[in-house]
Structure 1
Amino acid sequence: MLFLGLLLLLALLAGARLLWGWWLLRNLHLPPLAPGFLHLLQPNLPIYLLGLTQKLGPIYRLRLGLQDVVVLNSKRTIEEAMVRKWVDFAGRPHILSYKLVSQHYPDLSVGDYSLLWKAHKKLTRSALLLGMRNLMEPLVERLTQEFCERMRAQAGAPVAIQKEFSLLTCSIICHLTFGDKVKEDTTVRVFHNCVRDLMKTWDHWSIQLLDIVPFLRFFPNPGLWRLKQIVKNRDHIVEKQLRQHKDSLVAGQWRDMTDYMLQEVEHLRVAEGPGQLLEGHVHMALVDLFIGGTDTTAITLSWAVAFLLHHPEIQRRLQEEIDLELGPSVSGSQVSYKDRARLPLLNATIAEVLRLRPAVPLALPHRTMQLSSILGYDIPKGMVVIPNLQGAHLDETVWEQPHEFRPDRFLEPGKSPRALAFGCGARVCLGEPLARLELFVVLARLLQAFTLLPPAGSLPSLQPQPYCGITLNMQPFQVRLQPRGMGALRLGQCQ
């Protein structure tokens, strides 16, 4: 009886909250409301949300649990909110899972907008672009070269390429953040396993349900317990690295991003006094780099491979372009990233993959900091706003034949707008420069060294997993990497 009474009380409180919310909004001109409550149960949610625009237009509201959210489904509405009115839309919603993954200090990705958040962002961006300015590209080249050598050892055998890409991108982040003393078989795999466990648990329905109906956290939930344990383990691993770096710091020198950020925080503490950035902000910056820079880039690389398996003619054209500029061997010359215009088709292919399959198709939700408007509709303060990036990339009023894989659309000057795969405005992904560098270098080297072939003629699915969480995961597939040049001849003689 006590349990039933508690449920009834919670239901009454939820109903009262909804009625109070409707009363407060009664005089506003709100976007149209989509009927129903079970939208999150729809497979391929970004495409479902895009389909609602046929009746409701590019901006509308949905009910998710106890809360209304606004969904933006076009490039125009997303840019109006996130670029032209970025101050109004720069917040993050205060939801349970965000608090769990950033327990001690506000996180960059899910932290709310504030002056301290801006300082945190500046610190991380400086470490990435200034601290690693002369080291980033050589590091990515070296680790990609080693990756291709490992793949050459498996030549002709089916490879689960997404797992290999994920280990590669995690290794790049490890070396950028913790330096060249990283032990591949220990540190990288420890961080890789931790990130994969965290994302899998965070995406689980039991955690997503808590974000929609927060009072359910008072009931037994194995997923919630597991998420707390993973976060505890994550923090223990990061704290160990921070201790090791502090014990070996040399003033005025830095070996990696961690050294850079620790010294910057100390400098700011001495110069500006308390109330500024602390070591915990370095901790969460490192967490963000691993979560945001491992599987997202690996997923994009995997989608690129899948599309090229379906379009061998584009793969052939890419190899011709790369051979002309770099030579036909992985040990040949390299194109500096600043000279990437020498490989226009490769750039166009990357842009098309990012357009069709953005790794985070619904971005991360925003929250309005004050009353605002989009396309003439009022958007109240505190409203959760979801940018449907994939929906915007498939807008027929912007893109010709939007569902078709056509890299050549980006070779026509002025014909195709820039996609929004990394977001835009104040909340644009901080790791975009690194991700674009990785996509360019890895795909150039991979296609220079190998021809991508489906195992036993079985092409991978180009449809994402039906029920995705934060990332647009693809269905598992394998690829055969056939060495080109003399390696290909030797392989053919052995078969």
Structure 2
Amino acid sequence: MMISVILISLVLFLLTAQFLSLQWKSRGFPPGPIPFPIIGSMWWINFRADHGSLKKLAETYGNICTLWMGHRPVMVLYGFQALKNGLTNNSEDVSGRLQTYVFNEMSNGKGILVSNGLIWKQQRHFGIGTLRKLGMGNKGMERGIQTEAHYLVEFFREKQGEAVDPSFPIVHAVSNVICAVVFGHRFSLEDKTFRRLIKAFNSIVAFGNSHFYYMCEMLPWLAELLPGPLHKARFSRDFVRSFVRREIKSHKEKGRIDEPEDFIDFYLKQIEKTKNVPNSTFDEDNMVQSVFDLFLGGSETTATTLRWALLFMLVYPDIQDKVQQELDAVLSPSHLICYEDRKKLPYTNAVVHEILRFSSIILITLPREAVKDTTLLGYHVPKGTLIMANVDSALFDPAYWETPHQFNPGHFLDKGGNFVTREAFLAFSAGHRVCLGEAMAKMELFIIFCSLLQKFKFTVPEGVKEINTDIIFGSTMKPHPYKLCAVLR
């Protein structure tokens, strides 16, 4: 009995000491919910329920506040001004990535997306430079996008107006844009290996969107014991890696590094060029992971946005009509859509940007980590502090958007009907970790969206009374599965 009392007293003493330690530790941080031992204050917010809990957090504690992940501080940025200043002032100081159990399982600290330090700097710098050489944002990449737009148009033409789910053909088209960049060739819709590749990426994304993902991060030892999602995600990861390694082997055999034609060629040339450089991070493992990251970052987000784009055209047929009127007035029916056309199509360009804003497919960016002691919006930020940016709050900030919760292309038009950029448009984030494929994504969205609307009128299938515009919460905010009819104009 005495031993039990002593143990209980000891536990209570330790919990009290931890509680007081947390209160003392939290003094220099922005305000936030009271943190408790072990659980911190993450219990306060339900990220999966809706956007309201983040809004409530900001209303209660301000646009910069602190949550605690156990004993680790997480600074949450809400609203455009907080995001802009928080991500761009001292940007390099908060450019780290949190190394979690799942992130390490998926990338082992390599590649571009979740790497840190020298690896991240070298891989990202090389990635941006190579994408530019391969035509990102100019005519070189444009031809590949136009090719995929053509195949997508032909897919819908063959359906002859029957109801169809556009998801897979959209994913196929967008993934093939990346394939052309990375591998130097595209895959047909019937290619079984390519279908397996897309299925593997879908499996990895589905795992990241599941409750099981959070359990793996919190209780990795338990995840190892349970069969199921984690093992399926690993199997998918291994399939993607083996697929990429086969492509690398094929590229080596062709021996094109003196005249590189795609990302793998350029990377093989870089490995050869830096083989005697002591601090070089260019090796085959980093190449495989960089390709993996380019696929994950460049196909999932753009394909999801295009799915929202066509869904919005069903919901707002008057806006679809206005886009088509502008396309008809400015371009001939046989004109091949190019990115330069956006300058002659201000309303259509505004609609594409409003699709990006209103779909807001990234609710919260991957957490950034302070790589050194720094300051953020007037607060001292110790090394290791996590920074969580609620991008959605900038895209719907009522101080910067006239009708934030309405789909309104006028947000990107001046009184004369000319296209205007908006500073609160942070769909691709900001600072050192800004999306490296922004130029490519914008080009893909514009060319594919315009190519489809130039040829088809998209309508709701017969018998469908209501269109579901609710989101499926996950690493990207997806629309629920839907069908549409593409009627040739």
The TM-score, its normalising length taken from structure 1, stands at 0.87
Match of 2:409 among 389, 407, 410: 407
1:128 aligns with 2:128: no
The equivalent residue for 2:381 is 379
**Which moves more between the two structures, 384-393 or 410-419?**
410-419
In 1, Cα distance between the equivalents of 2:125 and 2:17? 38
Match of 1:334 in 2: 336
* One-letter code aligned to 2:477: L
How big is the shift at 1:446? Answer: 0.4
Matched, 1:301 2:306: yes
Q: Is the 8 A contact 1:66 1:213 kept in 2?
A: no
Aligned-partner SS, 1:165: helix
What amino acid is the match of 1:338? E
Q: Distance in 1 between matches of 2:453 and 2:103?
A: 39
The alignment-based identity, stated in percent, is 26
Counterpart-to-counterpart distance in 2, 1:469 and 1:191: 21
Aligned to 1:394: 396
Who is 1:462 aligned against?
A: 469
Q: Aligned ranges for residues 98-113 of structure 1 at < 5 Å?
A: 98-103=103-108, 106-112=110-116
2:370/2:386 contact within 8 Å kept: yes
What does 1:89-238 correspond to in 2, within 5 Å? 89-103=94-108, 106-112=110-116, 114-132=117-135, 134-180=139-185, 182-184=187-189, 185-214=191-220, 216-217=222-223, 219-220=225-226, 222-238=228-244
- Aligned residues: CA RMSD: 2.6
Superposition deviation, residue 455 in structure 1: 0.9
Residue 439 of structure 1 deviates from its aligned partner by: 0.2
Q: Partner letter of residue 351 of structure 1?
A: H
**AA in 1 matched with 2:357:** R
What is the match of residue 5 of structure 2?
Answer: none
**1:48 paired residue among 28, 47, 53:** 53
Whether 1:264 aligns to 2:247 is no
Q: Distance in 2 between matches of 1:265 and 1:410?
A: 44
Q: Could you tell me how far 1:352 is from its partner in structure 2?
A: 1.0
How many Å apart are 1:376 and its aligned residue? Answer: 2.9
1:257-298 alpha-carbon deviations (Å, 9 max, x no partner): 21122212221225x356332122211111011111112111
Give 1:339 shift: 4.3
What is the CA distance between 1:459 and its match in structure 2? 4.2
Amino acid aligned to 2:352: I
| Cα distance in 2 for residues equivalent to 1:472 and 1:437 | 21
Check 1:453–1:183 CA distance in 2 against 1; reply closer, same or farther (3 A cut): closer
Give me the whole-angstrom Cα distance separating, in 2, the residues matched to 1:420 and 1:400.
Answer: 16
Question: Structure 1 residues 426, 30: CA separation in 2 closer, same or farther (over 3 Å shift)?
Answer: same
Distance 1:348 1:18 in 2: 53
CA contact (8 A) 1:170 1:188 kept: no
Taking the aligned partners of 2:267 and 2:23, their CA distance within structure 1 comes to 47
Three-state SS of the structure 1 residue aligned to 2:441 is helix
The one-letter code matched in structure 1 to 2:121 is K
Take 1:43 and 1:29, find their aligned partners in 2: how far apart are those partners? Answer: 25
- Structure 1 residues 350 and 199 mapped into 2: Cα distance closer, same or farther (>3 Å)? same
The answer on whether the counterparts of 1:67 and 1:212 sit within 8 Å (CA) in structure 2 is no
Aligned residues between the structures: 466
TM-aligned CA deviation for residue 53 of structure 1: 1.7
Structure 2: gaps of 5 or more residues: 1-7, 36-40
Q: Are the aligned partners of 1:97 and 1:202 in contact in 2 as well (CA < 8 Å)? A: no
Match of 2:425 among 419, 423, 428: 419
Please, what TM-score do these two structures have when normalized by structure 2?
0.88
Whether the 8 Å contact between 2:118 and 2:281 is mirrored in structure 1 is: no
1:299-327 deviation per Cα after TM superposition (whole angstroms, max 9, x unaligned):
10111111121111111110011112222
Matched AA of 2:234: K
Name the CA shift for 1:414/1:323 in 2 (closer, same or farther; >3 Å).
closer
Change (3 A) 1:458 1:327: farther
Partner residue in 2 for 1:489: none
The 1-side partners of 2:82 and 2:19 are apart by 28
